[in-house]
Amino acid sequence: MPSQPNDVTGLLRAWSGGDQRARDELLPLIYGELRRRAAAHLRRERRGHSFQPTALVHEAYLRLVDQQVPWKNRAHFFGLASEMMRRILVDHARARKRGKRPGAWTRVELDEAVAIAEQRDVDLVSLDRALQELSDLDPRHGRVVELRFFGGLTLEETAEVLGASAATVKRDWSLARAWLYRRLTSSSDEPPA
């Protein structure tokens, strides 16, 4: 991670204001952290996945560059970057499923942080669907999962992005993990829609 988070925040805000030079200066400062997060996403994927961390970072960064986002701070940026990476991987899994015969599921490991403690394999598309259901029920809980699990943000960083207290985020995180655990384990035998 950059040693000067304020430099990253300042560059992000300048980029939001239309300063393209700030965007160009930002990439070397954030690239290592983006690559670390991409590698974390890919560790949850099936073995032999066709994406490499570098390709995932580049794809996510290209999508982020096209966004017209008023960046608040580095946590906000990394949260959205991780969300982009998740979307890319879900899209990839869906495309792969379309190419397979019915019943052939793409399986990926779900990190212990989502409380599937027995190293269960979970279909990434099912996880995405469950996360969308959770977000429909409680948008903040869904956002907490995206930022914590997929974004790799700490409780404090998540609280900063959401404008909530760390205690609230901790409580939301616990409730969301429990809900996802129940949802994923109760539907794990059902084929995807």
Q: How far apart are CA 162 and CA 118, in angstroms?
A: 31
CB count, 10 Å around CB of 3? 7
91-128 per-position pLDDT tens digit: 887 777 766 545 544 444 444 334 333 334 456 778 88
Q: Where are the domains of the chain?
A: 5-186
Q: Which residue has the higher pLDDT, 107 or 70?
A: 70
Please state the pTM of the whole predicted model.
0.58
Please state, in angstroms and as integers, the Cα–Cα distance from residue 83 to each residue in 18, 25, 28, 114, following that order.
23, 22, 20, 16
Q: With contact defined as beta carbons under 8 Å apart, do 7 and 22 qualify?
A: no
Rounded CA separation 138/132 (Å): 10
Per-residue CA distances from 117 to 105, 110, 178 (Å): 21, 9, 12
Residue 85 φ then ψ, to 5°: -60, -45
